[in-house]
Amino acid sequence: MALEEYRRKRDFTKSPEPKGKDLPARKAPRKALFFCVQKHLASHLHYDFRIEHNGTLLSWAVPKGPSLDPKTKRLAMHVEDHPIEYGTFEGVIPSGYGAGLVMLWDRGTWTPEVDDVDKALAKGDLKFTLEGFKLKGSWVLVRTRGYSRSRDRDRDAARGESSGDGRSWLLIKHRDDWAGDLDITQFAPLSVKSERDFPEILADDNPDIWRSNRPVEGGATGAMLRSIIEEAAKLKAARIQDLPGRRQKSKVRSKGKRPKAGK
The set of residues, in sequence order, having a beta carbon less than 8 Å from that of 132 and lying 6+ positions away, is 35, 36, 37, 106, 107, 108, 109, 192
Instruction: From 35-43, 80-88, 171-179, 180-188, give the range in contact with Mn ion by CB under 5 A.
Output: 35-43
CB of 47 to Mn ion, least distance (A): 8
**Closest residue by Cα to residue 193 from 47, 39, 33:** 39
The residue (of 46 and 136) whose beta carbon lies closer to Mn ion is 46
CB of 42 to Mn ion, least distance (A): 6
The residue (of 68 and 93) whose beta carbon lies closer to Mn ion is 93
The residue (of 98 and 137) whose beta carbon lies closer to Mn ion is 98
SS (H, E, C) 205-259: CCCCCCCCCCCCCCHHHHHHHHHHHHHHHHHHHHHHHHCHHHHHHHHHHHHHCCC
CB of 193 to Mn ion, least distance (A): 16
The residue (of 103 and 229) whose beta carbon lies closer to Mn ion is 103
CB of 98 to Mn ion, least distance (A): 5
Residue, CB closest to Mn ion: 40
Could you say which residues in the range 45-74 bind Mn ion, by CB under 5 A?
48
Number of residues that bind Mn ion (CB under 5 A): 2
The residue (of 5 and 80) whose beta carbon lies closer to Mn ion is 80
DSSP string covering 56-107? EEEEEEETT---S-TT-PEEEEEEEEEEGGGGG--EEE-SSTT-EEEEEEEE
Q: Does 40 bind Mn ion (CB under 5 A)?
A: yes
Chain residues binding Mn ion by CB under 5 A are 40, 48
